[in-house]
Amino acid sequence: MISLSKSSSVITLWVQEPSFSNSSGTISFEGIVPNPGFTGSGKVLTATFKVLKQGSARVSFANASVLANDGNGTEIGNGGTDASYSLIASTVETPPQNVKPQNVKTPVTKQSEPNAAPLSNAVVIQSSTHPDQTHWYNATEATFEWENPTDVISVRLGAGTDAQGVPHTIYKPPSSQKIVSFGEGTSYFYQQVQTKAGLSAVARYKVQIDTTSPKPFSVVVAQGTAPSQSAATFSTTDALSGIDHYEVVVNDRIALTLTPEDVQKPVTLPPASRGTTRLRVFAYDKAGNVAYAETTYTSFGAPIEIQSPFFINNYLLLLLTGLLVVALILSVIRSLYLQWKLKQVRTAIAEEIEALNDIKKERDLTAEEKRIMKKLW
Protein backbone atom coordinates (compact mmCIF):
# COMPACT_ATOMS: atom_id res chain seq x y z
CA MET A 1 0.00 0.00 0.00
CA ILE A 2 1.36 3.39 -1.02
CA SER A 3 -1.43 5.86 -0.25
CA LEU A 4 -5.11 6.48 0.50
CA SER A 5 -7.08 9.36 -1.01
CA LYS A 6 -10.41 10.82 0.13
CA SER A 7 -10.69 12.93 -3.02
CA SER A 8 -14.24 13.00 -4.46
CA SER A 9 -15.47 10.69 -1.69
CA VAL A 10 -19.22 10.64 -0.97
CA ILE A 11 -18.29 10.59 2.73
CA THR A 12 -17.74 14.10 4.08
CA LEU A 13 -17.50 13.43 7.81
CA TRP A 14 -14.90 10.92 9.02
CA VAL A 15 -15.46 9.41 12.45
CA GLN A 16 -12.21 7.46 11.96
CA GLU A 17 -9.76 8.91 9.47
CA PRO A 18 -8.70 6.39 6.78
CA SER A 19 -5.44 4.64 7.64
CA PHE A 20 -3.54 1.56 6.49
CA SER A 21 -0.97 -0.88 7.83
CA ASN A 22 1.33 -2.74 5.48
CA SER A 23 2.50 -5.00 8.30
CA SER A 24 -1.02 -6.30 8.96
CA GLY A 25 -2.29 -5.72 5.43
CA THR A 26 -5.37 -3.75 6.51
CA ILE A 27 -7.20 -0.52 5.71
CA SER A 28 -9.41 1.01 8.42
CA PHE A 29 -11.93 3.83 8.17
CA GLU A 30 -15.36 4.92 9.39
CA GLY A 31 -17.42 7.81 8.08
CA ILE A 32 -20.91 9.20 7.68
CA VAL A 33 -22.84 11.33 5.21
CA PRO A 34 -24.85 14.07 6.99
CA ASN A 35 -28.51 14.67 6.20
CA PRO A 36 -30.13 14.06 3.81
CA GLY A 37 -27.68 11.17 3.33
CA PHE A 38 -26.59 9.68 0.00
CA THR A 39 -28.46 7.62 -2.56
CA GLY A 40 -26.79 6.00 -5.58
CA SER A 41 -23.30 4.82 -6.38
CA GLY A 42 -20.14 6.74 -5.54
CA LYS A 43 -16.52 6.56 -4.49
CA VAL A 44 -15.56 6.12 -0.83
CA LEU A 45 -11.75 5.82 -0.98
CA THR A 46 -9.00 5.50 -3.55
CA ALA A 47 -6.28 3.05 -2.52
CA THR A 48 -2.99 2.95 -4.42
CA PHE A 49 -0.93 -0.24 -4.27
CA LYS A 50 2.61 -0.99 -5.41
CA VAL A 51 2.98 -4.35 -7.11
CA LEU A 52 5.96 -6.27 -5.71
CA LYS A 53 5.77 -9.35 -7.95
CA GLN A 54 3.60 -11.15 -10.46
CA GLY A 55 0.78 -13.33 -9.21
CA SER A 56 -2.70 -12.86 -7.81
CA ALA A 57 -3.90 -10.57 -5.05
CA ARG A 58 -7.14 -10.66 -3.10
CA VAL A 59 -8.90 -7.75 -1.42
CA SER A 60 -11.68 -8.58 1.05
CA PHE A 61 -13.79 -6.88 3.73
CA ALA A 62 -13.13 -8.18 7.23
CA ASN A 63 -15.81 -6.15 8.99
CA ALA A 64 -17.98 -4.02 6.70
CA SER A 65 -21.22 -2.31 7.69
CA VAL A 66 -23.47 0.14 5.84
CA LEU A 67 -26.19 1.85 7.91
CA ALA A 68 -29.23 3.66 6.52
CA ASN A 69 -29.87 7.31 7.35
CA ASP A 70 -33.37 6.52 8.67
CA GLY A 71 -32.98 7.54 12.30
CA ASN A 72 -32.54 3.91 13.38
CA GLY A 73 -29.25 3.01 11.70
CA THR A 74 -30.78 0.08 9.85
CA GLU A 75 -28.16 -2.26 8.38
CA ILE A 76 -28.47 -2.25 4.58
CA GLY A 77 -25.03 -3.57 3.58
CA ASN A 78 -24.19 -7.07 2.44
CA GLY A 79 -20.88 -7.34 4.24
CA GLY A 80 -18.83 -6.33 1.20
CA THR A 81 -17.77 -8.23 -1.91
CA ASP A 82 -14.28 -9.69 -2.25
CA ALA A 83 -12.18 -9.02 -5.33
CA SER A 84 -9.23 -10.84 -6.90
CA TYR A 85 -6.61 -9.28 -9.19
CA SER A 86 -4.10 -10.86 -11.55
CA LEU A 87 -0.78 -9.03 -11.44
CA ILE A 88 1.16 -9.29 -14.70
CA ALA A 89 4.39 -7.56 -15.62
CA SER A 90 3.89 -4.98 -18.35
CA THR A 91 5.93 -4.93 -21.55
CA VAL A 92 8.11 -1.84 -21.79
CA GLU A 93 8.91 -0.62 -25.27
CA THR A 94 12.50 0.59 -25.73
CA PRO A 95 12.48 3.97 -27.47
CA PRO A 96 14.39 4.11 -30.80
CA GLN A 97 17.98 5.33 -30.63
CA ASN A 98 18.89 8.88 -31.59
CA VAL A 99 15.25 10.00 -31.37
CA LYS A 100 14.43 13.06 -29.32
CA PRO A 101 11.74 12.36 -26.69
CA GLN A 102 8.44 14.15 -27.18
CA ASN A 103 8.13 15.43 -23.62
CA VAL A 104 11.13 17.55 -22.71
CA LYS A 105 11.59 19.34 -19.41
CA THR A 106 13.49 22.54 -20.11
CA PRO A 107 15.78 23.50 -17.20
CA VAL A 108 15.07 27.01 -16.03
CA THR A 109 17.29 29.07 -13.79
CA LYS A 110 14.99 32.07 -13.65
CA GLN A 111 11.20 32.02 -13.32
CA SER A 112 10.46 34.20 -16.31
CA GLU A 113 7.95 33.93 -19.10
CA PRO A 114 9.36 33.02 -22.55
CA ASN A 115 9.03 35.64 -25.24
CA ALA A 116 5.45 35.48 -26.47
CA ALA A 117 4.52 36.20 -30.03
CA PRO A 118 2.08 39.13 -30.17
CA LEU A 119 0.09 37.36 -32.92
CA SER A 120 -0.95 34.46 -30.65
CA ASN A 121 -3.10 35.18 -27.60
CA ALA A 122 -3.44 32.93 -24.55
CA VAL A 123 -6.00 30.16 -24.91
CA VAL A 124 -9.02 29.88 -22.60
CA ILE A 125 -8.69 27.12 -20.00
CA GLN A 126 -11.76 25.45 -18.54
CA SER A 127 -12.18 22.84 -15.82
CA SER A 128 -15.01 20.33 -15.55
CA THR A 129 -14.05 19.40 -11.99
CA HIS A 130 -13.28 22.89 -10.64
CA PRO A 131 -15.39 25.18 -12.86
CA ASP A 132 -15.26 28.33 -10.67
CA GLN A 133 -11.85 29.85 -9.91
CA THR A 134 -13.28 31.81 -6.95
CA HIS A 135 -14.71 28.76 -5.17
CA TRP A 136 -13.07 26.24 -2.87
CA TYR A 137 -13.17 22.49 -3.56
CA ASN A 138 -12.28 19.37 -1.57
CA ALA A 139 -11.32 17.32 -4.64
CA THR A 140 -7.54 17.37 -5.12
CA GLU A 141 -7.58 16.01 -8.67
CA ALA A 142 -8.50 18.63 -11.29
CA THR A 143 -9.18 18.18 -14.99
CA PHE A 144 -8.37 21.01 -17.41
CA GLU A 145 -9.47 21.37 -21.03
CA TRP A 146 -8.73 23.92 -23.75
CA GLU A 147 -9.04 24.28 -27.51
CA ASN A 148 -5.76 24.49 -29.43
CA PRO A 149 -5.34 26.69 -32.52
CA THR A 150 -5.41 24.90 -35.87
CA ASP A 151 -1.69 25.60 -36.46
CA VAL A 152 -0.55 24.41 -33.04
CA ILE A 153 2.84 22.68 -32.95
CA SER A 154 3.18 21.91 -29.23
CA VAL A 155 1.92 22.99 -25.83
CA ARG A 156 3.77 23.76 -22.63
CA LEU A 157 2.08 22.79 -19.36
CA GLY A 158 2.88 23.23 -15.70
CA ALA A 159 1.45 23.79 -12.25
CA GLY A 160 2.55 25.49 -9.04
CA THR A 161 1.68 27.98 -6.34
CA ASP A 162 3.16 31.03 -8.09
CA ALA A 163 0.40 33.26 -9.47
CA GLN A 164 2.83 34.41 -12.20
CA GLY A 165 4.37 31.01 -12.91
CA VAL A 166 5.10 29.72 -16.40
CA PRO A 167 4.97 26.20 -17.87
CA HIS A 168 8.13 24.30 -18.86
CA THR A 169 7.04 20.77 -19.82
CA ILE A 170 6.62 20.47 -23.61
CA TYR A 171 3.96 18.16 -25.07
CA LYS A 172 4.41 17.28 -28.73
CA PRO A 173 2.09 16.29 -30.31
CA PRO A 174 0.01 18.83 -28.39
CA SER A 175 -2.66 17.74 -25.93
CA SER A 176 -5.93 19.51 -25.16
CA GLN A 177 -6.56 18.06 -21.69
CA LYS A 178 -4.57 17.55 -18.52
CA ILE A 179 -5.33 15.98 -15.13
CA VAL A 180 -3.34 17.41 -12.22
CA SER A 181 -3.28 16.53 -8.52
CA PHE A 182 -2.90 19.50 -6.17
CA GLY A 183 -2.18 19.92 -2.50
CA GLU A 184 -4.20 22.08 -0.14
CA GLY A 185 -4.22 25.83 -0.64
CA THR A 186 -4.23 28.03 -3.74
CA SER A 187 -2.47 26.64 -6.81
CA TYR A 188 -2.31 27.44 -10.51
CA PHE A 189 -2.28 25.53 -13.77
CA TYR A 190 -0.20 27.06 -16.55
CA GLN A 191 -0.58 26.54 -20.29
CA GLN A 192 1.16 27.99 -23.32
CA VAL A 193 0.78 27.22 -27.02
CA GLN A 194 3.54 27.02 -29.65
CA THR A 195 2.42 27.88 -33.20
CA LYS A 196 4.27 28.83 -36.36
CA ALA A 197 3.92 32.44 -35.25
CA GLY A 198 5.67 31.74 -31.95
CA LEU A 199 4.65 31.23 -28.33
CA SER A 200 1.34 32.47 -27.03
CA ALA A 201 0.89 34.35 -23.81
CA VAL A 202 0.69 32.14 -20.71
CA ALA A 203 -2.82 31.09 -19.70
CA ARG A 204 -3.32 30.52 -15.98
CA TYR A 205 -6.14 28.87 -14.05
CA LYS A 206 -6.51 29.21 -10.26
CA VAL A 207 -7.54 26.22 -8.16
CA GLN A 208 -8.40 26.43 -4.43
CA ILE A 209 -8.26 23.15 -2.50
CA ASP A 210 -9.32 22.46 1.07
CA THR A 211 -9.66 18.85 2.22
CA THR A 212 -9.48 19.48 5.96
CA SER A 213 -12.63 19.68 8.07
CA PRO A 214 -13.26 22.65 10.36
CA LYS A 215 -11.72 22.48 13.82
CA PRO A 216 -13.51 20.26 16.38
CA PHE A 217 -15.93 22.18 18.58
CA SER A 218 -18.58 21.67 21.23
CA VAL A 219 -22.14 22.84 21.70
CA VAL A 220 -23.55 23.98 25.05
CA VAL A 221 -27.27 24.41 25.74
CA ALA A 222 -28.53 26.86 28.34
CA GLN A 223 -31.93 25.50 29.32
CA GLY A 224 -34.75 27.84 30.24
CA THR A 225 -38.05 27.23 31.98
CA ALA A 226 -39.99 27.64 28.75
CA PRO A 227 -39.49 26.29 25.22
CA SER A 228 -38.53 29.70 23.83
CA GLN A 229 -35.81 30.19 26.46
CA SER A 230 -33.43 27.30 25.54
CA ALA A 231 -30.39 28.57 23.63
CA ALA A 232 -27.25 26.92 22.24
CA THR A 233 -23.74 28.34 22.08
CA PHE A 234 -21.22 27.04 19.54
CA SER A 235 -18.58 28.23 17.09
CA THR A 236 -15.57 26.96 15.17
CA THR A 237 -13.04 28.05 12.55
CA ASP A 238 -11.52 26.71 9.35
CA ALA A 239 -7.92 27.54 8.51
CA LEU A 240 -8.12 27.52 4.70
CA SER A 241 -11.47 28.22 3.10
CA GLY A 242 -13.32 29.47 6.19
CA ILE A 243 -16.72 28.55 7.61
CA ASP A 244 -19.57 28.79 5.12
CA HIS A 245 -22.60 27.89 7.26
CA TYR A 246 -23.96 25.83 10.15
CA GLU A 247 -26.88 23.39 10.22
CA VAL A 248 -28.73 22.87 13.51
CA VAL A 249 -30.42 19.46 13.62
CA VAL A 250 -33.00 18.80 16.35
CA ASN A 251 -34.08 15.16 16.68
CA ASP A 252 -32.83 14.29 13.15
CA ARG A 253 -34.60 17.24 11.50
CA ILE A 254 -32.81 20.32 10.16
CA ALA A 255 -34.23 23.14 12.24
CA LEU A 256 -31.92 26.07 11.40
CA THR A 257 -29.35 27.08 8.80
CA LEU A 258 -27.06 29.80 10.12
CA THR A 259 -24.20 31.99 8.92
CA PRO A 260 -21.02 32.51 10.96
CA GLU A 261 -22.40 35.91 11.96
CA ASP A 262 -25.59 34.30 13.33
CA VAL A 263 -23.66 32.24 15.91
CA GLN A 264 -21.73 35.14 17.44
CA LYS A 265 -24.45 35.15 20.12
CA PRO A 266 -26.48 32.28 21.67
CA VAL A 267 -28.87 30.70 19.18
CA THR A 268 -32.46 30.31 20.35
CA LEU A 269 -33.54 26.72 19.75
CA PRO A 270 -36.93 25.91 18.24
CA PRO A 271 -39.49 24.10 20.43
CA ALA A 272 -39.18 20.31 20.45
CA SER A 273 -41.21 17.43 21.83
CA ARG A 274 -41.28 17.18 25.60
CA GLY A 275 -38.46 15.09 27.04
CA THR A 276 -34.83 14.44 26.11
CA THR A 277 -33.90 16.18 22.88
CA ARG A 278 -30.89 15.33 20.68
CA LEU A 279 -29.12 18.38 19.28
CA ARG A 280 -26.47 18.17 16.55
CA VAL A 281 -24.66 21.08 14.92
CA PHE A 282 -22.85 20.63 11.58
CA ALA A 283 -20.23 23.19 10.54
CA TYR A 284 -19.48 23.33 6.80
CA ASP A 285 -16.48 25.11 5.32
CA LYS A 286 -16.54 26.71 1.87
CA ALA A 287 -15.13 23.55 0.27
CA GLY A 288 -17.92 21.35 1.64
CA ASN A 289 -15.91 19.71 4.43
CA VAL A 290 -17.87 19.26 7.65
CA ALA A 291 -17.33 18.88 11.39
CA TYR A 292 -20.08 18.31 13.92
CA ALA A 293 -20.81 18.36 17.63
CA GLU A 294 -23.79 17.02 19.52
CA THR A 295 -25.42 17.05 22.93
CA THR A 296 -28.77 16.38 24.58
CA TYR A 297 -31.02 18.58 26.67
CA THR A 298 -34.46 18.46 28.25
CA SER A 299 -37.22 20.09 26.29
CA PHE A 300 -40.40 21.36 27.91
CA GLY A 301 -42.37 20.76 24.75
CA ALA A 302 -43.89 23.10 22.24
CA PRO A 303 -46.03 25.88 23.70
CA ILE A 304 -49.71 24.98 23.85
CA GLU A 305 -51.69 27.42 21.82
CA ILE A 306 -55.11 27.85 23.41
CA GLN A 307 -57.74 28.65 20.86
CA SER A 308 -60.45 30.82 22.41
CA PRO A 309 -63.89 29.28 21.89
CA PHE A 310 -66.22 31.01 19.48
CA PHE A 311 -68.65 32.06 22.17
CA ILE A 312 -65.85 33.87 24.08
CA ASN A 313 -64.61 35.80 21.07
CA ASN A 314 -68.21 36.70 20.08
CA TYR A 315 -69.93 36.89 23.46
CA LEU A 316 -71.59 40.29 22.79
CA LEU A 317 -73.14 39.14 19.54
CA LEU A 318 -74.32 35.92 21.14
CA LEU A 319 -75.76 37.82 24.12
CA LEU A 320 -77.81 40.13 21.90
CA THR A 321 -78.97 37.21 19.81
CA GLY A 322 -80.02 35.34 22.95
CA LEU A 323 -81.98 38.31 24.27
CA LEU A 324 -83.84 38.66 20.98
CA VAL A 325 -84.70 34.98 21.00
CA VAL A 326 -85.99 35.20 24.58
CA ALA A 327 -88.06 38.29 23.75
CA LEU A 328 -89.54 36.53 20.73
CA ILE A 329 -90.42 33.46 22.80
CA LEU A 330 -92.07 35.63 25.51
CA SER A 331 -94.02 37.49 22.86
CA VAL A 332 -95.33 34.26 21.40
CA ILE A 333 -96.26 32.92 24.85
CA ARG A 334 -98.08 36.15 25.73
CA SER A 335 -100.01 36.06 22.45
CA LEU A 336 -101.06 32.46 23.03
CA TYR A 337 -102.10 33.28 26.58
CA LEU A 338 -104.25 36.23 25.47
CA GLN A 339 -105.91 34.11 22.84
CA TRP A 340 -106.71 31.47 25.44
CA LYS A 341 -108.00 34.04 27.92
CA LEU A 342 -110.23 35.68 25.29
CA LYS A 343 -111.69 32.31 24.46
CA GLN A 344 -112.47 31.71 28.13
CA VAL A 345 -114.24 35.07 28.45
CA ARG A 346 -116.31 34.49 25.34
CA THR A 347 -117.39 31.09 26.63
CA ALA A 348 -118.42 32.59 29.99
CA ILE A 349 -120.44 35.35 28.27
CA ALA A 350 -122.19 32.85 26.03
CA GLU A 351 -123.13 30.74 29.04
CA GLU A 352 -124.44 33.79 30.93
CA ILE A 353 -126.58 34.91 27.98
CA GLU A 354 -127.96 31.40 27.58
CA ALA A 355 -128.90 31.31 31.30
CA LEU A 356 -130.72 34.67 31.08
CA ASN A 357 -132.62 33.49 28.02
CA ASP A 358 -133.79 30.43 29.93
CA ILE A 359 -135.05 32.67 32.80
CA LYS A 360 -136.77 34.93 30.30
CA LYS A 361 -138.81 32.01 29.03
CA GLU A 362 -140.17 31.30 32.51
CA ARG A 363 -140.71 34.82 33.74
CA ASP A 364 -140.05 38.43 33.10
CA LEU A 365 -136.55 39.59 33.76
CA THR A 366 -135.96 42.01 36.54
CA ALA A 367 -134.52 45.41 35.84
CA GLU A 368 -131.07 44.26 36.99
CA GLU A 369 -131.15 41.14 34.79
CA LYS A 370 -132.21 43.25 31.79
CA ARG A 371 -129.24 45.58 32.43
CA ILE A 372 -126.83 42.66 32.61
CA MET A 373 -128.13 41.06 29.38
CA LYS A 374 -127.90 44.39 27.58
CA LYS A 375 -124.32 44.80 28.75
CA LEU A 376 -123.44 41.25 27.68
CA TRP A 377 -124.78 41.81 24.20
pLDDT digits (tens, 9 = 90+) for 289-318: 999 999 998 876 555 555 556 656 677 888
pLDDT at position 308, please? 57
pLDDT at position 99, please? 37
Q: What percent of the chain has pLDDT over 90?
A: 43
Mean pLDDT of 30-58: 80
Global pTM reads: 0.51
Q: Peptide bond before 216: cis, by omega within 30 degrees of 0?
A: no
Q: Using an 8 Å Cβ cutoff, are 167 and 157 in contact? A: yes
> Of the ranges 160-169, 352-361, 365-374, which is most confident?
160-169
Residue 273 vs residue 336, higher pLDDT = 336
- Give the pLDDT band of residue 101 (cuts 50, 70, 90): very low
- What does the pLDDT look like over 45-99, one tens digit per residue? 888 877 777 777 888 887 788 888 776 678 787 767 777 777 765 433 333 444 3
Q: Using an 8 Å Cβ cutoff, are 121 and 201 in contact? A: yes
- Give the pLDDT band of residue 220 (cuts 50, 70, 90): very high
Instruction: Return mean pLDDT, the chain.
Output: 82
Mean pLDDT of 234-262: 95
pLDDT at position 114, please? 47
- CATH topology identical between 101-209 and 220-299: yes
pLDDT at position 173, please? 92
pLDDT at position 97, please? 41
Helices 367-376 + 315-362 axis angle, to 10: 140
Superfamily of domain 101-209, CATH level 4: Immunoglobulins (2.60.40.10)
The ranges assigned to domains in the chain are: 1-90, 101-209, 220-299, 317-376
pLDDT at position 260, please? 96
Superfamily of domain 220-299, CATH level 4: Immunoglobulins (2.60.40.10)
- Give the pLDDT band of residue 34 (cuts 50, 70, 90): confident
- What does the pLDDT look like over 305-352, one tens digit per residue? 555 566 566 778 888 888 999 999 999 999 998 898 888 888 887 887
pLDDT of 113 > 50? The answer is no
How far is the C-alpha of 266 from the C-alpha of 112, rounded, in Å? 53
pLDDT at position 249, please? 95
Question: Is residue 94 classed exposed, middle or buried when 0-12, 13-18 and 19+ CB atoms within 10 A define those classes?
Answer: exposed
Q: Peptide bond before 173: cis, by omega within 30 degrees of 0?
A: yes
